[in-house]
A and B are shown apart, each in its own frame.
Chain A
Amino acid sequence: MIYALIALGYTLVYGILQLINFAHGEIFMVGAYLGLFVYTLSQTVSGNLAATPLTISIIVLAMIGTAALGVTIERFAYRPLRNSPRLAPLITAIGLSFLLQNAVMLIFGPSDKNFPQIIKSQNYSWGNVAFTNLQILIALTSILLMVVLNAFIKNSKLGKAMRALADDPKAASLVGINPDQIISIAFLIGSGLAGAGGVMFGMYYNTINFHDGYLVGLKAFTAAVLGGIGNVPGAMLGGLLIGILESLGAGYLSSEWKNVFAFFILFLVLLLRPSGLLGSRVVKKV
């Protein structure tokens, strides 16, 4: 589920700019740390807040923070390179990744940080299936965010502009769509979702580290490609699949091989469907 949220960010940006935003995993990590920061702040301001409004406000504030970060990154590191060779922004993204990781390491320290259990974990079971209230909460929040996003892209004016820009940038700007603005919004939404993902990641695993962004980012990117990059429902599907495959692989094979398993499935899928599960086959015109 969390993979799906982050994969959405990759897909949104890629769909419009054909840019692999390598710093996206880092934004996710920053989101987790922001969540922690807001929590600590709330504890010093007033000791006992109810769990539910606290959780919501942490997620929302972290989302705002990462969204602002995403837009800033786009403005300073990617926009100046809009017309450059395709790999140039990739390198600034790598540089940014170093920058963010080390900035977080310097501010919060290099060791694992405990992420507080804001909502106490409880176990439920239904037949043979066991789950916790946290898992349900994460699933519900993710689904909610995805449904809102899907509706936004399908129906709203900005969403339509976004799709138009992804389709044909030149034609879109001819009919009066401001590409800079729309790209900023894509970064805003993608980064915000990554921030939410970060907070939920922290709440679920209870420990965060400045290195977390890299591996999760890698897998989310894989998920985005698996579902067909540039395709929003594809990213959700891909994220779900990667998450499920990974836990199945860890359960039935061994946890050491779970990453190999996920990538191996990716190989197979791409060999059979070269443009991802839901990706449309782009016919190259001459």
Chain B
Amino acid sequence: MKKRTGDPTEEKKFRKLRALNKSVIPEYFYRGSIDSRSKRAGMTRVLLGALKSSSASLPESFKISLLLVVIFTLPFFDKNPYHIDIMVTAGIFMLLASGLNVIVGFAGILNLGYAAFYAMGAYTYALVNLHLGVPFWAGLWVSGFVTALFGILLALPAFRLSGDYLAIVTLGFGEIVRITLNNLDRITGGPNGLLGIQHPALHFSSYQYQFGVRSEPYYFLVFSLVVIVVFFLKRLESSRLGRAWVAIREDELAASCMGVDLGWAKLSAFGIGGFIAGIAGCVFAAKQGTVSPDSFDFVVSVMILAMVVLGGLGNIWGALLGAFMLNLLPEFLRGFDIYRMLFFGIAMILIMLLRPQGILGERRHKEEFHSQSSR
């Protein structure tokens, strides 16, 4: 099924141009005009297609509200504290994956040190809470802004570096933060971390609700935050800034020629990504009551990245799905006992081989997928 005949490179150029145009021209303009030609993953496509057509009849708002109802009533049906606890962790990682998605998925900057932002959020809340007695709700903002600030500081060298060199700087940053936390015994407690962080509490005039150590309140807290962040990112995606990010991701040079302020766009991507990681870290610290450096090592950065890529780069729902899957998969594989992580690795490879663009690839990515070789 070939639509255009002729020089393949010409066609490639055309497709690339079109992909670029899409950041400027309304999307419905081109919808449906692209023939997908993936040979592999025919099965998954058929399955997904069937899923799509069966759910396509329902309006989007209905689907989302259904999802919300399911999420927020789950603790009333599922009384198993272990399940809820896993879901809280999954929720925190959903926040993190969403945040990293802004940097890697939207703006296309590979960040290998995202756990450092997460750590900063957690330690910021721990420190301001322990030393200044700042309550959780204020700490959430403090963590967010402090982490955003560090994100912006880290992004400053981004002006000079490109691609993988920037990735290695973020990697180095992640390691430096972790080792520093480990070594600054007097401030951060070294490898033992900080203990006795306050749990959040709600005040209704005279009535006070303590979050304590049970998982349920955190479940509602985390998923409320996820909903807020997703809403915010949804709006951001189609804003001027969101489109600027996509333009940078596709072609930095062309974007700057079209008047996109590269520096500003990159800084804001790191700032927003940092902010989200900051609040995720704050929630983590408040839930655990303790923070220690080994919750934030390189593997965590890599796992968050894997969530984003597995779910589908640049897709907000994909990041959520990826975080959900990579958190729950090891739990389901518990039956395999010591072979668990072995199968986990195999599962990751298989998913990527079957759907290289991620489970829910972003539409723009999907269209380019077979026209663009690895740059």
- CB within 8 Å of A: which B156-207 residues: 157, 160-162, 164-165, 167-169, 171-173, 175-176, 179-180, 182-183
User: Does A266 sit within 8 A of B, measured CB to CB?
Assistant: yes
Binding stretch for chain B, among A63-71, A97-105, A119-127, A193-201: A97-105
Inter-chain contact B157/A271, CB cutoff 8 Å:
yes
Cα separation A198 to B16 with both chains bound (whole Å): 43
Q: Does B346 have its Cβ within 8 Å of any Cβ on chain A?
A: yes
Residue of A whose beta carbon sits closest to that of B174: A263
B373 touching A83 by the CB < 8 A rule?
yes
Residues of B within 8 A of A (CB): 40, 104, 110, 157, 160-162, 164-165, 167-169, 171-173, 175-176, 179-180, 182-183, 253, 298-299, 302, 305-306, 309-310, 313, 338-339, 341-342, 344-349, 352-353, 356-358, 365, 369-370, 373-375
* Surface stretch bound by B, among A32-40, A42-50, A84-92, A130-138: A84-92
Tell me which residues across on chain A come within 8 A of B167, comparing CB atoms.
20
CB distance from B54 to the nearest CB of A (A): 28
Q: How far is the CA of A286 from the CA of B164 in the complex (A)?
A: 20
A95 touches B176 (CB 8 A): no
Closest to A264 in B: B176
Q: Which residue of B is nearest A266, CB measured?
A: B172
Tell whether A263 pairs with B352 under 8 Å between CB atoms, given A270-B157, A274-B162. no
- B160–A271 CB distance below 8 A: yes
The closest CB in chain A to the CB of B167 belongs to A20
Q: Which of A235-286 contact B (CB under 8 A)?
A: 256-257, 259-260, 263-264, 266-267, 270-271, 274-276, 284, 286
Q: Which of B341, B346, B374 contacts A82 (CB 8 A)?
A: B374
Contacts of B341 in A (CB 8 A): 98, 101-102
Q: In the assembly, what is the distance between CA of A218 and CA of B349, in Å?
A: 21
The count of residues in chain A whose C-beta lies closer than 8 Å to any C-beta of chain B is 53
Contacting pair A91 B352 (CB below 8 A): yes
Q: Are B356 and A286 in touch, CB under 8 angstroms?
A: no
B165 touches A267 (CB 8 A): no
Contact of B313 among A87, A221, A275 (CB under 8 A): A87
**A17 contacts the other chain (CB 8 A):** yes
* Docked complex Cα distance between A80 and B356 (Å): 9
Q: Point out the residue from A88, A225, A257 that lies within 8 Å of B352, measured CB to CB.
A: A88
9 residue pairs A–B, Cβ–Cβ below 8 Å: A18-B374, A81-B353, A85-B356, A86-B375, A91-B310, A106-B342, A218-B298, A221-B171, A229-B165
Instruction: Report chain B residues within 8 Å CB of A106.
Output: 338-339, 342
Known contacts A222-B172, A229-B164, A286-B253: A81-B352 contact under CB 8 Å: yes
Contact check, A80 vs B40: say whether CB atoms are below 8 A apart: yes
Q: Are A77 and B349 in contact (CB under 8 A)?
A: yes
Give the complex CA separation of A80 and B350 in angstroms. 11
CB distance from A147 to the nearest CB of B (A): 27
Chief secondary structure at chain A's binding surface:
helix
Q: Is A54 an interface residue (CB 8 A)?
A: no
Which of B40, B168, B370, B375 is A266 in contact with, Cβ under 8 Å?
A: B168
Q: Report the minimum CB–CB distance from A167 to chain B (whole Å).
A: 15
Contact with B along A206-227 (1 / 0, CB 8 A): 0000000010001001100100
Nearest B residue to A271, CB-CB: B157
Query: Chain A residue with minimal CB distance to B182?
Result: A256
Closest-by-CB residue of A relative to B347 is A95
- Decide: B183 and A85 in contact? CB cutoff 8 A: no
Verify if A96 is at the interface (C-beta below 8 Å from B). Answer: yes
Point out which of A77, A90, A221 has the most chain B C-beta atoms below 10 A from its C-beta.
A90
Asked whether A92 lies within 8 Å of B348 as measured between CB atoms, the reply is yes
- A99-B349 in contact given A218-B175, A259-B179 (Cβ < 8 Å): yes
* Set of chain A residues within 8 Å of B344, measured between Cβ atoms: 95, 98
* B176–A85 touching, CB < 8 Å: no
Q: In the complex, A103 Cα to B309 Cα: how many Å? A: 24
CB distance from B237 to the nearest CB of A (A): 18
Bound CA span A100–B370, Å:
31
Residue of B nearest to A83 (CB): B373
Are A260 and B176 CB-contacts (below 8 A) given A102-B339, A106-B339?
A: yes
Give B342's nearest chain A residue, CB to CB: A102
Give the CA-CA distance A275 to B104 in the complex, in Å: 21
- Cα(A99)–Cα(B348), bound, Å: 10
A148 at the interface (CB under 8 A from B): no
Bound-state CA distance A280–B326 (Å) is: 39
B342 proximity list for chain A (CB < 8 A): 98-99, 102-103, 106
Residues of A within 8 A of B173 (CB): 263
Minimal Cβ-Cβ distance residue in B for A84: B356
- In the complex, what's the smallest C-beta–C-beta distance from A25 to chain B, in angstroms? 11
User: Which one of B40, B165, B338, B348 contacts A91 once the chains associate, using CB atoms below 8 Å?
Assistant: B348
